[in-house]
Structure 1
Amino acid sequence: MSLVCGLDFGTSNSTIARLDTNGVPQLLKLEDGRQTIPSVIFFGFEDDTIHFGRKAVAEYVTGADGRLMRSLKSVLGTALIGDSTRVKARSYGFLDILGIFIGELKRRAESELDGQVDSVVCGRPVHFVDEDPVADRAAQDQLESAVRGQGFRHVDFQFEPIAAALDYERQVTAERLALIVDLGGGTSDFSVVRVSPERAKSMDRGGDILATAGVHVGGTDFDRLLSMTRVMPELGLGTKTRDGKRHLPVAPYYDLSTWHRINRLYNAQTLRDLRGTSREAQAPERVDMMIELIEDRLGHRLVGAVETAKIALSDADTTNFVFPVRDQQIETELTIEHLTAALHSSVSRIEDTIAETLKRAGIGAGDIDSLILTGGSTQVPAIAGRLRALFPDADLVRTDVLGSVGLGLAMDAKRKFG
């Protein structure tokens, strides 16, 4: 039996959905009965086994020897897509790693459905790469290549915020003008869409999409910014050399705060450079802790701890960040004010992109009837509060923040492939 599905391959989490016999979109159970799976791969060195999702994270956190790969989608359209990473004696290209993960999603979906999935609509951000249409097109082509390489015969794409609109439209009873705000792990996308029960019956919805815009800002950027402003200073960022003439190099701290760049630090040359930096530093003990952290390959675990702290600030005004490094620890207080300050430039870029979206649609904020929030990053207080302030008169609609895109993609797949 040949099946059609919607595939939401996300920076942080992924889903697959299809329509049931009653035409209702349903998310498939992809991992231990759960409908989402973190977009993470762990290459285990001890048993030469590849682990996925929560299992991958668990293997890594428990200290298993291996290589963790996360934020896989972030490399699309960038120079990193041509890079490779060594896993024991084998070298994997980043596009190959994307294919391995997507292939596992396909296998799990087919096991759940007891049939072959050969047609799929994949979600994509409005912009993989900001203000670079050539790189943006290359990113989609790269993703399509990875998807087709896993045996999907028919592949199409839909903007992720449009997919979220298709999901929301199932519950509307009258025409509404909606702003879809999709804040994911790697991108923030916005669309102004007319929705109604009558419009939902139309096969061609192009005329209902009044405007779209996007910016390459998302949850992983928020993690990096929080790390750079509050955690990396504990390792020497912002301090000066002993002669007081210059600051320590920023690049290794940036890499240590960025999931898909951390592996670049795990080499002998980086450690030699950092030891040279330590000898020149006013606070060499901080740089020495960074050296120990890199020697022990704790980079991904550190960024994971920052992400956990960011999430904690969704429910509390303050949290104490503590991260052990051998016989020492990184310790600093994190508050909502710190997070808000760290995200100031990102929030400004989001606001500017929203304004551009409204401008393209020829409307003002007061014309929006429904503000539809999807994507995990919409739960960050600094973001959610600002969005509410921008559209005080609109109905706030919180979708299944991790599943609405996949549900909408399944509906689109049924329309396109039958």
Structure 2
Amino acid sequence: MICGFDYGTSNCAIGVKPQDVVQLLAVDGDHAFMPSALYALGRELICEQVGLAMTTGPLRDEFIATRRGPLQLAQRARRELDLGSAAEDIEAVMLVGQRAFDQYFSDPEEGYFVKSPKSYLGASGLRPEFVHFFEDIVTAMMQTVKQRAELSLGQPLTRTVIGRPVNFQGVNAEHSNHQALAILSRAAQRSGFSEVEFLYEPIAAGLSFERTLADNQTVLVVDIGGGTSDCAMVRMGPDHRDREDRSADFLGHTGERIGGNDLDIALAGKQLMPLFGMHASLKSGKPMPTKTFLDAVCTNDVSALSRFSSLETTLQLQQLQRDCLQPELISRLLRLQANKQNQQLVRCAENAKIVLSDAESTRVALDFVEAGLGTEMVKTGLEAAIQRPLQRITELMAEAVAQAGVQPDRVFITGGSARSPLIRQAVARTLGDIPLLDGDHFGSVVSGLTEWAQRIYR
């Protein structure tokens, strides 16, 4: 059967259209959206689980031939962890979705946890073994989502359209896009899809919205997701929606790897890292170096995560602890590093961001780091913290309009982060008095992908 697959930075979803209405399938318990997260007892075991889930044949043979080293390490990891046969229940060694989050929060210092792996797919300078590793993470997640969707549907899914941002990275975009799409393509094939196509996510969101239009309009679609922000100027309406070739209707599009995760990271850096010594005084009178503190919260940057977890950083922090007039603050950062709790810290910032969308203040508790540790956040602090990434998002909107050479008749805004009043206010400041409409903030993209899949595969 044909499906649309939203492999998102924050959530994954699959849609089908058996009749005239798009149906989202259950992929995380009873839920249609699965958080984009994976937890494994050991990172080597991810590769093993991918191979076990693949159907016997040339594709699996090729995979095993390119993964001999990691598969041997997986066998050793099984012995060290005193695990049983590799053919046993997959959830004994690997979890995805909400259960991955739950396991990480309950025991962060054990196992391997990754959130929003889509953020890393276009990273520059990845060695082949790291490309293979990200392929395995994405494949493991796709396999699980597809299997759960097929169980819910009661029949196999064979052809799909997968959403993609305009650009996976802002730097060296062409190479980044090629690398990321190659990873997603291989993952989809190894998950059992016989045909795979891609569609820009803002265009997919626009296709979903277009079904509601009674007349022709030029629409600026703004999709602010967890990892990227994408904008597209599109001619829409009754005279356009049934065309086989829509290329002439797409007047301009922009996108960059900046989204909800960047807002969370900015808030964590500004509001939470001072509790760990970022602005503490040194005995020498020199300013505290901030790079390591920012690395700690930059959870969508694989290089920053590697630096923060390295032995070199541990030694640097130990020296800073000796040089700091408040060494207990640096002790907290060392504890955060040792216990692998930086993802938890950024999740706290994300929760605070959501609360501050409606409230003037909120208490952020960090008891998982230290009993009684926490801080009060206020809405003005959120506004100051996210000013820079928010400005870049509004610049992307203006660039899309400039490319098109016409003003939009209305703005259609979607994506999880688009719910924030601060985002909506920024859109209004940038584009003026143009009607602003909301879509299904989580479901617009997957609905549009499903519509497009039905169109191109029929």
TM-score by length of structure 2 reads: 0.84
- 1:170-202 CA distance string (max 9 Å, x none): 111111111101000110000111111231111
* Higher mean displacement: 287-296 or 182-191: 287-296
Secondary structure, in 3 states, of the residue corresponding to 1:203?
coil
**What residue in structure 2 maps to residue 381 of structure 1?**
421
Aligned residue-pair number: 406
**What residue in structure 2 maps to residue 111 of structure 1?**
151
- 1:278-326 CA distance string (max 9 Å, x none): 1112321110111122222222211111111111111111112220255
Q: Which runs of structure 2 are paired with 1:10-89 in the superposition (5 Å)?
A: 10-21=8-19, 23-44=20-41, 48-63=92-107, 65-79=110-124, 81-82=126-127
**What residue in structure 2 maps to residue 89 of structure 1?**
none
1:347 deviation in Å? 1.7
CA separation in 2, counterparts of 1:211 and 1:175?
A: 17
2:140 to 100, 125, 142: 100
* Counterpart residue type for residue 292 of structure 1: R
1:24 deviation in Å? 1.9
Identity among equivalent positions (%) equals: 31
CA separation in 1, counterparts of 2:163 and 2:413?
A: 17
Q: Which runs of structure 2 are paired with 1:273-312 in the superposition (5 Å)?
A: 273-312=316-355
**2:234 is equivalent to residue 234 of structure 1:** no
Secondary structure, in 3 states, of the residue corresponding to 1:316?
coil
Contact 1:127-1:214 within 8 A present in 2 as well: yes
1:318 to 361, 374, 385: 361
Contact 1:44-1:51 within 8 A present in 2 as well: no
Q: Which runs of structure 2 are paired with 1:356-371 in the superposition (5 Å)?
A: 356-364=399-407, 368-371=408-411
1:255 deviation in Å? 2.3
CA separation in 1, counterparts of 2:261 and 2:447?
A: 23
Contact 1:369-1:393 within 8 A present in 2 as well: no
In 2 relative to 1, CA 397–139 (structure 1 residues): closer, same or farther, beyond 3 Å?
Answer: same
1:327 deviation in Å? 4.5
**2:160 is equivalent to residue 163 of structure 1:** no
In 2 relative to 1, CA 129–169 (structure 1 residues): closer, same or farther, beyond 3 Å?
Answer: same
CA separation in 2, counterparts of 1:356 and 1:327?
A: 45
**What residue in structure 2 maps to residue 197 of structure 1?**
238
* Higher mean displacement: 224-233 or 104-113: 104-113
1:271 deviation in Å? 2.3
2:163 to 101, 105, 123: 123
* Counterpart residue type for residue 438 of structure 2: R
Secondary structure, in 3 states, of the residue corresponding to 1:213?
strand
In 2 relative to 1, CA 57–83 (structure 1 residues): closer, same or farther, beyond 3 Å?
Answer: farther
Contact 2:121-2:134 within 8 A present in 1 as well: no
Contact 2:398-2:431 within 8 A present in 1 as well: no
**What residue in structure 1 maps to residue 391 of structure 2?**
348
1:181 to 212, 219, 222: 222
* Higher mean displacement: 124-133 or 225-234: 124-133
CA separation in 2, counterparts of 1:394 and 1:177?
A: 12
1:328 deviation in Å? 4.0
In 2 relative to 1, CA 229–326 (structure 1 residues): closer, same or farther, beyond 3 Å?
Answer: closer
1:329 deviation in Å? 4.2
**What residue in structure 1 maps to residue 381 of structure 2?**
338
In 2 relative to 1, CA 363–61 (structure 1 residues): closer, same or farther, beyond 3 Å?
Answer: same
CA separation in 1, counterparts of 2:400 and 2:350?
A: 29
Secondary structure, in 3 states, of the residue corresponding to 2:278?
coil
1:265 deviation in Å? 3.5
Contact 1:161-1:189 within 8 A present in 2 as well: yes
- 1:73-110 CA distance string (max 9 Å, x none): 0011104754879xxxxxx8222111111111111122
CA separation in 1, counterparts of 2:111 and 2:275?
A: 27
Which structure: greater strand fraction? 1
- 1:139-168 CA distance string (max 9 Å, x none): 222221222222212111000000011100
Unpaired runs of 5+ in structure 2? 43-80, 84-91
